[in-house]
Amino acid sequence: MPKRTDTTPIAVDGLTKKYGSVTAVDQLSFTVRPGRITGFLGPNGAGKTTTLRMTLGLVTPSAGRATIHGHIYRQLANPTSVVGAVLDDVGAHDSRSGRHHLRQLCAAARIPASRVDDVLAEVDLTQAADRDYGTYSRGMRQRLSLAQALLGDPEVLIMDEPTNGLDPSGIRWILDALREFADQGRTVLISTHVIAEIQSLLEDVIIINRGTLVAQGTVAQVCGSESGTGQVSAHASDPAGLLAAARAKGLSATMSGGAVLFSDGGIEQVSALAAQERITLREVSSLQHSLEAAFLNLTRQEGK
């Protein structure tokens, strides 16, 4: 179904959470733009998970508010169709199948049971759907978590540390799945402290430290440059072929998480090489000013 662009997907205004004398989130304000993949970044203990849980109505703020398409979570008439989230373990019983777990959730949320087969196919879990949850690998559990979040066909997807514990192939799969979700015009907010794994996916960035906002903007803005010809990450239809072609041309390139990482040559040169070799580029981005370096610098300055 068409996704809304007339309201702000996520708006946080003066959000504060105190636990006794400890302030976990301190007057935090930011917005998430529609149809974008936004990284919600911060060191461990920065307040990311607490912020997300307040946004989803799981924790009551001490002050301020967080809204999803203009409403606080508990005011949403049909929340599962507005926002899906992957925060913790899905809570499935070890002796019950993934399919059974999703059917129970559909019944509770009054979602048509037909959605179960749809989302299992979307996350490529159909063949394992009738296995007991207790036999699932970490990657399979993450896929079931995503399937659960997608049951209501939501407009917004929130994920907390989605790559945690996954192997490189699992990381690549989850990033591709999020890219496909966003390409449908939907909004993705990813919370993480492991920047290197997801930086090629991100369009916008929100950085917090000690519960306060440090920076917000596009990746290029936060990194301090709108252009450049430094390190380039390329996701291609034939990454091995692109890597071989690059090395044949004398370019410095390596494989990194399914992408070809060029240490020299700009986006135009990489694109021309791919075209010459008739290799399709799914995604190419400049990493001249490393987001991870900018993140470390910004949070270090804030901590002083």
Q: Do 34 and 158 sit in the same domain of this protein?
A: yes
Q: Tens-digit pLDDT profile for the chain (304 aa)?
A: 445 556 899 999 999 999 999 999 999 999 999 999 999 999 999 999 999 999 999 999 999 999 999 999 999 999 999 999 999 877 889 999 999 999 999 999 999 999 999 999 999 999 999 999 999 998 999 999 999 999 999 999 999 988 888 888 888 898 999 999 999 999 999 999 888 888 888 999 999 999 999 999 988 788 764 344 457 888 999 999 999 999 999 888 888 767 888 876 778 889 999 999 999 998 888 765 578 878 888 887 555 5
Q: Do 280 and 179 sit in the same domain of this protein?
A: no
Q: What is the 3-state secondary structure (H, E, C) of 107-176?
A: HHHCCCCHHHHHHHHHCCCHHHCCCEHHHCCHHHHHHHHHHHHHCCCCCEEEEECCCCCCCHHHHHHHHH
d(CA 33, CA 74): 21
Q: Do 35 and 95 sit in the same domain of this protein?
A: yes
**DSSP codes, 244-285:** HHHHHTT--EEEETTEEEESSS-HHHHHHHHHHTT--EEEEE
Q: Do 209 and 241 sit in the same domain of this protein?
A: no
Domain that holds residue 260: 232-288
How many domains in the chain?
2
Closest CA to 295 of 210, 198, 205, 190: 205
d(CA 47, CA 51): 6
Tell me, what DSSP letter sits at residue 7?
Answer: S
Token code pair at residue 140: 């399979």
Strand order in the sheet with 63-68: 22-32, 10-19, 63-68
Q: Which of 196, 224, 252 is the last residue of a domain?
A: 224
**242 belongs to a structural domain:** yes
Q: Do 258 and 212 sit in the same domain of this protein?
A: no
Q: Do 278 and 167 sit in the same domain of this protein?
A: no
Q: Do 206 and 240 sit in the same domain of this protein?
A: no
**296 belongs to a structural domain:** no
| pLDDT at residue 210, rounded to an integer | 93
**294 belongs to a structural domain:** no
Q: Do 159 and 193 sit in the same domain of this protein?
A: yes
In angstroms and rounded to an integer, the radius of gyration of the C-alpha atoms of the chain is 20
Helix (H) or strand (E) holding 209: strand 204-209
Q: Do 96 and 245 sit in the same domain of this protein?
A: no
CATH code, domain carrying 18: 3.40.50.300
Amino acid type, 86: V
d(CA 169, CA 147): 18
| pLDDT at residue 196, rounded to an integer | 82
Q: Do 51 and 178 sit in the same domain of this protein?
A: yes
Q: Do 131 and 266 sit in the same domain of this protein?
A: no
**183 belongs to a structural domain:** yes
Q: Do 22 and 43 sit in the same domain of this protein?
A: yes
**89 belongs to a structural domain:** yes
| pLDDT at residue 287, rounded to an integer | 61
Q: Which of 168, 199, 224 is the last residue of a domain?
A: 224
Q: Are 179 and 198 in contact (CB under 8 A)?
A: no
| pLDDT at residue 228, rounded to an integer | 43
Phi/psi of residue 119, nearest 5 degrees: -75, -30
**302 belongs to a structural domain:** no
Prediction pTM value: 0.76
